[in-house]
Amino acid sequence: MDVHGRQADDRAMLAASPPGEAAAALPRPFGLVGGTGASRPTRALSAVWTLARRRSVRFCVVGLLGTLVNLAIYSALVAETGIAPPLAAIGGFLVAVTHNHLLNRVWTFAARSARYLPQGARFLVISLAALAINLAVLRALLAAGLGHIPAQLVGIGTATPVGFLGNRAWTFRGRV
Same-domain check for residues 30 and 55: no
Cβ atoms of 122 and 158 closer than 8 Å? no
Same-domain check for residues 76 and 163: yes
Same-domain check for residues 27 and 87: no
What's the domain range around 161?
Answer: 50-171
Same-domain check for residues 90 and 123: yes
Instruction: Examine residue 85 and state whether it is found in any structural domain, yes or no.
Output: yes
Same-domain check for residues 18 and 64: no
Question: What does the pLDDT profile of the chain (176 residues) look like in tens digits?
Answer: 444 444 455 555 445 555 555 445 444 444 444 545 556 667 766 776 677 788 888 888 998 999 899 999 999 999 999 999 999 999 999 999 999 989 988 888 887 777 888 888 998 999 999 999 999 999 999 999 999 999 999 998 899 889 888 988 898 876 54
Check residue 109 and report its DSSP letter. S
Instruction: Examine residue 95 and state whether it is found in any structural domain, yes or no.
Output: yes
Query: How far separated are the first and last CA of the chain, in Å rounded?
Result: 41
> Alpha-carbon Rg of the chain, whole angstroms?
23
Instruction: Examine residue 42 and state whether it is found in any structural domain, yes or no.
Output: no
CA 44, CA 42: separation in Å to the nearest integer? Answer: 5
Instruction: Examine residue 158 and state whether it is found in any structural domain, yes or no.
Output: yes
pTM score: 0.63
Check residue 39 and report its DSSP letter. P
